[in-house]
Amino acid sequence: MDVVLVNYGKGKLTCFPGNLNSALDVIPVDMVVNAMVVAMEVHYAQHQYSCETIYHVGSSSKNPLKLSDLRNLVHYYFTKNPWIDTNGQKVEVGKLIVVFYLINILCCQRFGKIYTNLNRRVKFILRLAEFYKPYSFFTGIFDDRNLERLQRVAEERGIDLAEFNFDSRSIDWEDYIMNSHIPGLLN
């Protein structure tokens, strides 16, 4: 979704179709790595080298980030911290009106250049929508019971889960999106 966020901030993408109630199953990569390290330690200690347990490291079950929340946070971020374009101007994030094709025809093609530019953007949005459809319209929640079991076993073995945190409930999505994720994308 990072392409969507950056293009939105640059003013190139002003709408994105999806189900606003969809829970995005996202997780910071450091939590995935932490879960992998803990799983390797636990399974090595149990001598289960051919373990077939699947650990789903995600957030949709315990701490979902809804598409509507992400939309609001990204809008707030780029309103508070606007993108500066190549001319040194602040980019204002706004709404795209997708009825411009009809207006152009009714006005005898007077807005041909604007229509061409907007039409390119609409096609880009439609390509993104098709690409992200499995994610932005998905309403399922992933089962992470195996990950909970891994946490319990790790605690019993004395593994410091504060140091190797992979509990999605600890994520403050507003803080993460506003202070880590988007700034990290832009730097």
Q: What is the mean pLDDT of each run of 10 residues along the chain (187 residues)?
A: 87 75 89 94 72 86 90 91 93 56 48 61 70 71 90 93 95 96 92
What does the block give as tokens for 59? 């957030």
pLDDT for the residue numbered 102: 43
pLDDT for the residue numbered 48: 57
Q: Is the distance from CB of 58 to CB of 28 less than 8 angstroms?
A: no
pLDDT for the residue numbered 3: 85
Long-range contacts of 144-150 (CB under 8 A, 24+ apart): 144/55, 144/56, 144/57, 144/58, 144/61, 144/62, 144/168, 146/53, 146/54, 146/55, 146/56, 147/35, 147/55, 147/56, 147/57, 150/35, 150/38, 150/39, 150/42, 150/55
Q: Is the distance from CB of 52 to CB of 158 less than 8 angstroms?
A: no
pLDDT for the residue numbered 101: 41
User: pLDDT tens, 24-76?
Assistant: 889 999 999 999 999 988 888 676 555 678 899 999 999 999 888 888 899 89
- Distance CA(13)–CA(132), nearest Å, equals 14
Sort residue 88 into left (φ over 0), alpha (ψ -120 to 50) or beta: left
Number of structural domains (the chain) is: 1
pLDDT for the residue numbered 104: 44
- Distance CA(94)–CA(13), nearest Å, equals 9
Domain that holds residue 180: 1-186
- Can you give the length of the chain in residues? 187
pTM for the complete prediction?
A: 0.72
